[in-house]
């Protein structure tokens, strides 16, 4: 028995308590006067809980070789906020004289947004091409990008022509880059050369100057579908230098112009995204550290242990790209290992705890119990249950964690499934990853 489990047994035998520190709030979310409160959560079997119905049984779960976490991610990582205008103008800079956020069905009765309630509405379409004052742009400081990944810009549009043929409708877009994270645009996207470049006085072709007002920095979009929702999408390359470590992007969309005097436009689902490296990542925590080489393949020596625990597939992970909205930020460690000693990801810590629990066959109890003490508070999942019939009969080395609980209030009885955790010294393990 390792150091940690031996100490747990000693403390149970000497004190007969297990204290957990809680942060306590009232029903309105206000911290109590004593925010941190300690509570003894230990209940003993049979002194506090008596087995009844003669249905107490013990099961041994096989030890594990692998603990597996599968994380599903989107192919495109959304990097701007409020793309569907669900929160109206939040995180957008909109020129009020050129467009407003509206409920489309209140303007044209048969037009509904792609998602939610609102969308961007352009009431008038000028006939002169517009690429001076933007109609809408994202917030630069809230839209970071990563070099080396393509950027996808897309939006849904509804160009109203009233069924009067096919008018000429077009629009301009420009893309700026703050590559130094100082809040100013120092590069623009050249749609001809497909790269971000800076202004200069003589670095252009033949020593000509380059200005951000040049046509190369504006892409013309021609609309050919009218009176229905459609989608526009364009892809940009973002290959920056090694010195550009914290870049942010700014997309400006200008008013749509038209030969049709009474044209109107709705926009929805304005998304700025970057491609993900993989759409599924499988993280395997495998016990052991000894290997052998068989036919050119590295194989783990402990072939007799084959158990595998698969967590339910999730979208949340501490190991995702920080651009992913499902990414859990920061670094983590366990309480007995200070940050200065062993910092790790949350995923690795959780999988290690599973490997630790299943280092040996796990003992699991299931049965019906009658609560036989003067505590008026019912048993709950935070309680720990210590099977203690004295050392001469049966005394478990640690208290059990409740996995399932069913409470019969009238009978004061509990149907409980619980297992003995193994928080002993870490079982040696290593990490494997698969990407799809």
Concatenate the DSSP letters of all residues of 347-393 into one string: HHHHHHHHHHHTSSPEEEEEEEEEE-SS--SPP-TT-EEEEBS-TTT
Query: What are the CA-CA distances from residue 389 to residues 56, 107, 374 (Å)?
Result: 14, 76, 20
356-368: average pLDDT: 93
| Nearest by Cα to 367 from 50, 22, 19 | 50
Predicted confidence at residue 137, as pLDDT, reads 97
Predicted confidence at residue 153, as pLDDT, reads 96
Predicted confidence at residue 294, as pLDDT, reads 55
Q: Give the β-pairing of 136-138 and 92-94.
A: antiparallel
Using one digit for the tens of pLDDT, what is the confidence trace for 294-328? Answer: 566 655 555 578 889 999 999 989 988 777 778 88
Predicted confidence at residue 292, as pLDDT, reads 58
47-74: average pLDDT: 93
Using one digit for the tens of pLDDT, what is the confidence trace for 75-130? Answer: 888 899 999 999 999 999 999 999 999 999 999 988 999 988 999 999 999 988 88
CA–CA distance, 1 with 360 (Å, rounded to integer): 12
Predicted confidence at residue 422, as pLDDT, reads 87
What percent of the chain shows pLDDT beyond 70? 94
Q: Which residue has the higher pLDDT, 97 or 240?
A: 97
Predicted confidence at residue 342, as pLDDT, reads 67
Residues linked to residue 155 through DSSP beta bridges, in sequence order: 232
CA–CA distance, 53 with 47 (Å, rounded to integer): 17
Predicted confidence at residue 363, as pLDDT, reads 94
274-286: average pLDDT: 87
9-33: average pLDDT: 89
Predicted confidence at residue 305, as pLDDT, reads 83
What percent of the chain shows pLDDT beyond 90? 61
Q: What mean pLDDT is reported for the chain? A: 89
E strand segments, 130-183 = 136-138, 151-160, 169-178
327-347: average pLDDT: 76
- Helix, strand, or coil (residue 199): coil
Sequence ranges of the chain with CATH classification 2.60.120.260: 76-275
Predicted confidence at residue 410, as pLDDT, reads 92
Concatenated DSSP letters of 37-75: EEEE-EEEETTTEEEEEEEEEEEEEPPEEEEEEEEE--S
Can you read off the two tokens belonging to residue 379? 């048993």
Cα dihedral 178, 183, 184, 190, rounded to 10, equals 20
- Please tell me the number of Cα atoms within 13 Å of 415 on its side-chain side: 3
Residue 226 CB contacts under 8 Å (≥ 6 apart), including other chains: 159, 160, 161, 166, 167, 169
47-62: average pLDDT: 94
**With 90 as the cut, is the pLDDT of residue 147 above it?**
no
- Cα dihedral sign, 129-130-132-138: negative
Predicted confidence at residue 322, as pLDDT, reads 74
**With 70 as the cut, is the pLDDT of residue 293 above it?**
no
Peptide bond into 38 cis (omega under 30): no
Predicted confidence at residue 205, as pLDDT, reads 80
| Fold of the CATH domain 76-275 | Jelly Rolls (2.60.120)
Using one digit for the tens of pLDDT, what is the confidence trace for 370-405? Answer: 999 988 899 999 999 999 999 999 999 999 999 999
Predicted confidence at residue 242, as pLDDT, reads 79
């Amino acid at each position: 028995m390792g150091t940690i489990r031996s100490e747990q047994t000693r403390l149970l035998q000497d004190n007969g308590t297990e204290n957990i520190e809680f942060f306590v709030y009232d029903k309105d979310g206000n911290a109590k006067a004593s925010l941190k409160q300690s509570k003894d959560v230990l209940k003993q079997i049979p002194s506090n809980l008596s087995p009844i119905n003669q249905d107490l049984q013990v099961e041994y779960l096989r030890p594990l070789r692998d603990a597996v976490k599968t994380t599903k991610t989107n192919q495109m990582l959304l990097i701007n906020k409020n793309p569907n205008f669900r929160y109206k103008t939040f995180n957008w800079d909109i020129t009020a004289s050129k467009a407003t956020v509206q409920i489309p069905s209140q303007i044209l009765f048969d037009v509904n947004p792609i998602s939610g309630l609102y969308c961007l509405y352009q009431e008038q379409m000028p006939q002169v091409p517009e690429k001076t004052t933007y109609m809408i742009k994202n917030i630069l400081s809230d839209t970071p990008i990563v070099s080396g990944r393509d950027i996808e810009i897309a939006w849904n549009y509804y160009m109203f022509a009233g069924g009067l043929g096919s008018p000429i409708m077009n629009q301009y877009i420009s893309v700026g880059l703050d590559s130094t994270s100082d809040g100013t645009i120092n590069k623009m996207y050249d749609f001809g050369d497909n790269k971000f470049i800076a202004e200069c006085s003589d670095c252009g072709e033949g020593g000509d100057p380059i200005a951000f007002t040049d046509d190369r920095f504006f892409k013309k979009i021609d609309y050919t579908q009218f009176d229905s929702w459609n989608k526009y999408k364009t892809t940009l390359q973002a290959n920056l230098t090694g010195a550009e470590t914290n870049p942010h992007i700014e997309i400006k969309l200008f008013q749509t112009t038209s030969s049709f005097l009474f044209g109107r436009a709705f926009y929805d689902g304005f998304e700025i995204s970057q491609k993900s490296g993989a759409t599924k990542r499988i993280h395997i925590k495998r016990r052991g550290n000894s290997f052998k080489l068989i036919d050119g393949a590295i194989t783990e020596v402990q072939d007799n242990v084959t158990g595998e625990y698969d967590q339910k597939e999730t979208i949340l992970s501490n190991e995702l790209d920080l651009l992913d909205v499902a990414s859990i930020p920061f670094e983590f460690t366990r309480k007995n290992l200070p940050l200065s000693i062993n910092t790790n990801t949350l995923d690795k810590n959780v999988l290690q705890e599973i490997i630790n629990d299943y280092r040996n066959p796990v003992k699991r109890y299931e049965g019906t119990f009658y609560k036989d003490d003067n505590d008026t508070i019912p048993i709950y999942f935070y309680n720990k249950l210590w099977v203690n019939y004295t050392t001469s009969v049966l005394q478990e080395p640690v208290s059990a964690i409740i996995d399932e609980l069913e409470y019969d209030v009238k009978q004061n009885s509990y149907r409980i499934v619980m297992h003995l955790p193994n928080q002993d010294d870490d079982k040696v393990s290593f990490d494997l990853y698969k990407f799809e």
